[in-house]
Structure 1
Amino acid sequence: MVKGLPQKLFLGQDYRSPLSAKVFSSWDFCIRGREAATIKQHEISNEFKVELEEGHRFQLAQQQTRAQRACHLLSYLRVNFLIGLLVVGAISAIFWATKYSQDNKEETLFVLLQYLPPGVIALVNFLGPLLFVFLVQLESYPPNTEVNLILVWCVVLKLASLGMFSFSLGQTMLCLGRNKTSCESHGYNACDYQCWENSVGEELYKLSTFNFLLTVAFAFLVSLPRRMLVERFSGRFWTWLGREEFLVPTNVLDIVAGQTVIWMGLFYCPLLPLLHSVFIFLTFYIKKYTLLRNSRASLRRFRASSSTFFFQLVLILGLLLATVPLGYVVSSIHSSRGCGLFANYSAPWQVVPELVALRLPPPVQQALHYLGSQAFSFPLLILLSLVLTVCVSQSQANARAIQGLRKQLVWQVQEKWHLVEDLSRLLPELGLGDSPGPQSPHSPSSRPRSFCPGFPCPGSPGPRSPKALRSPRPSPSHVDPTCRFRFPSGAEL
Structure 2
Amino acid sequence: DFLVQYLPSIVITLANFLLPLIFGMTIVWEDYSPGFEIRLSLLRYVSLRLASVAVLLVTLWSRITCNNNNSISITSNSSISDCQQCGYNINYPCWETRVGQEMYKLTIFDLITSLVSVLLVEFPRKMIVTHCGCGLARWMGEQEFSIPDQVLHIVYGQTVCWVGTIYCPLLPLLAAIKYTIFFYSKKLSLMLNCRPATRPYRASSSMFFFFIVLLLGLLLSWVPAIYTIGGIRPSQACGPFTGQRLPWAVLVTAVQALPHWLDSILEFFASLLFAIILVVLSSLFLFYMTTLNNAHARVINQLKDELAMVGRDRAFLAKQVKATSKGGEAGRHRVARGRTS
> What TM-score results when the alignment is normalised by the length of structure 1?
0.57
SS of 1:265's partner is helix
Q: Match of 1:370?
A: 268
Q: Match of 2:279?
A: 381
**Residues 303-352 of structure 1 deviation map (CA, whole Å, 9 limit, x = unaligned):** 23433333333222222211232122112211011211101111112111
Structure 2 counterpart of 1:173, from 45, 52, 64? 64
CA distance in 1, matches of 2:296, 2:130: 57
CA change 1:364–1:128 in 2 (3 A) is same
SS of 2:165's partner is coil
Residues 143 and 301, structure 1, Cα contact 8 Å, conserved in 2:
no
CA distance in 1, matches of 2:94, 2:173: 23
SS of 1:138's partner is helix
Gap regions ≥5 residues in structure 2: 71-79, 335-341
Confirm or deny that 1:325 pairs with 2:224.
yes
Deviates more, 1:111-120 or 1:306-315: 306-315
Aligned-CA RMSD value: 3.3
Q: Match of 1:272?
A: 171
CA distance in 1, matches of 2:83, 2:306: 71
Letter of the 1:126 partner, please give it.
F
Q: Match of 1:44?
A: none
CA distance in 2, matches of 1:151, 1:288: 22
Residues 257 and 318, structure 1, Cα contact 8 Å, conserved in 2:
yes
Q: Match of 1:155?
A: 46
**Residues 398-442 of structure 1 deviation map (CA, whole Å, 9 limit, x = unaligned):** 5566667777888x68x979x99xx9xxx9xxxx99x94799xxx
CA distance in 1, matches of 2:303, 2:130: 57
CA change 1:393–1:248 in 2 (3 A) is closer
**Residues 131-153 of structure 1 deviation map (CA, whole Å, 9 limit, x = unaligned):** 22223323554544433332232
Confirm or deny that 1:199 pairs with 2:104.
no
CA distance in 2, matches of 1:255, 1:406: 38
Residues 155 and 213, structure 2, Cα contact 8 Å, conserved in 1:
yes
CA distance in 2, matches of 1:311, 1:249: 8
Q: Percent same amino acid among aligned pairs?
A: 40
Structural mapping, 1:131-146, within 5 Å: 131-146=22-37
CA change 1:185–1:393 in 2 (3 A) is farther
Residues 182 and 188, structure 1, Cα contact 8 Å, conserved in 2:
no
Q: Match of 1:338?
A: 237
**Residues 56-105 of structure 1 deviation map (CA, whole Å, 9 limit, x = unaligned):** xxxxxxxxxxxxxxxxxxxxxxxxxxxxxxxxxxxxxxxxxxxxxxxxxx
Structural mapping, 1:258-269, within 5 Å: 258-269=157-168
Letter of the 1:208 partner, please give it.
T
Letter of the 2:42 partner, please give it.
L
Confirm or deny that 1:314 pairs with 2:205.
no
Structure 1 counterpart of 2:182, from 278, 283, 286? 283
Letter of the 1:308 partner, please give it.
M
Confirm or deny that 1:354 pairs with 2:245.
no
Shift of 1:275: 1.9
> What TM-score results when the alignment is normalised by the length of structure 2?
0.80
Confirm or deny that 1:241 pairs with 2:140.
yes
CA distance in 2, matches of 1:306, 1:348: 41
SS of 2:197's partner is coil
**Corresponding pairs, count:** 318
CA change 1:350–1:402 in 2 (3 A) is same
Structure in which a larger fraction of residues adopt helix: 2
CA change 1:289–1:400 in 2 (3 A) is closer
Structure 1 counterpart of 2:198, from 283, 291, 299? 299
Letter of the 1:169 partner, please give it.
L
**Residues 24-66 of structure 1 deviation map (CA, whole Å, 9 limit, x = unaligned):** xxxxxxxxxxxxxxxxxxxxxxxxxxxxxxxxxxxxxxxxxxx
CA distance in 2, matches of 1:399, 1:252: 30
CA distance in 1, matches of 2:144, 2:223: 36
Structure 1 counterpart of 2:8, from 117, 120, 128? 117
- Greater Rg, structure 1 or structure 2? 1
Q: Match of 1:189?
A: 89
CA distance in 2, matches of 1:294, 1:408: 46
CA change 1:201–1:144 in 2 (3 A) is same
Residues 66 and 84, structure 2, Cα contact 8 Å, conserved in 1:
no
CA distance in 1, matches of 2:297, 2:150: 36
Residues 103 and 164, structure 2, Cα contact 8 Å, conserved in 1:
yes
Shift of 1:178: 6.2
CA change 1:339–1:298 in 2 (3 A) is same
CA distance in 1, matches of 2:313, 2:115: 64
